[in-house]
Amino acid sequence: MRTNATFSVLFWVYSQRTKNNEAPLYVRISVNRKKLNISLKRKVEVNRWDSVKQRVRGTGTKARDLNLFLDQEHARLVQIYQEIRYQGKVISPENIKARYFKEDQNLFTFEDLFLYHNENMFSKLKNNTSRLYLTSQNYIRLFLKKEYNRKNYYLGDLDYSFIIQLGEIRSEFISH
């Protein structure tokens, strides 16, 4: 698959927001001359920043850790660009940012599923069926509280062992 899209990643220091000789660190994503800035939620000493190399000068622990972080974020952004490209989706700075912050993924939970089902399906069900659905939902809530000490669970995290455990615990709840 060949593409004509240009892509670049640039790390830069927002020197206009310098406080105590430290400025926030940003990454600029450019795709086909469209630019988008993302704050990396890190600060760097302005006099230690090398704008040509886009790295912190020095060999101290703090400098090495920050430079390693920058390498990892660069690799992550390039990987996101490649994934979007291979999926045949529109390559734009906004799409890369959405994937970076996992905003492009539908992260639904059991409670989201219950709410959707109860709002959209209850009117179509008989009373006894509705009651059984509510009972099942309560069993799942009790299971999450007992086994995971959580009120909710992302559906994307479901695996085979979760289903097996739920089936085993369900019989315990019913017998009590």
pLDDT band of residue 105 (cuts 50, 70, 90) is: low
Per-residue pLDDT tens for 74-90? 999 999 999 989 988 88
Least Cα distance to 96 among 83, 87, 108, 112 occurs for 83
Where does the pLDDT of residue 9 fall: very low under 50, low under 70, confident under 90, or very high at 90 and above? Answer: very high
Question: How far is the C-alpha of 75 from the C-alpha of 91, rounded, in Å?
Answer: 17
Please tell me whether the overall predicted TM-score, pTM, comes out greater than 0.95 for this model.
no
pLDDT of residue 87: 86
pLDDT of residue 3 exceeding 80: no
How many CB atoms are closer than 10 A to CB 96? Answer: 24
Give the pLDDT band of residue 176 (cuts 50, 70, 90): low
Q: What percent of the chain has pLDDT over 90?
A: 45
Say how far apart CA 39 and CA 14 lie, in whole Å. 10
- With a CB cutoff of 8 Å and minimum separation 6, the contacts of 122 are 130, 133
- Please tell me the predicted confidence (pLDDT) of residue 103: 73
| pLDDT recorded at residue 15 | 87
How far apart are alpha carbons 105 and 108 in whole angstroms? 9
Q: For residue 20, which phi and psi values (nearest 5 degrees)?
A: 55, 40
**Rounded alpha-carbon distances, angstroms, from residue 110 to 14, 132, 141:** 41, 17, 9
d(CA 133, CA 116): 13
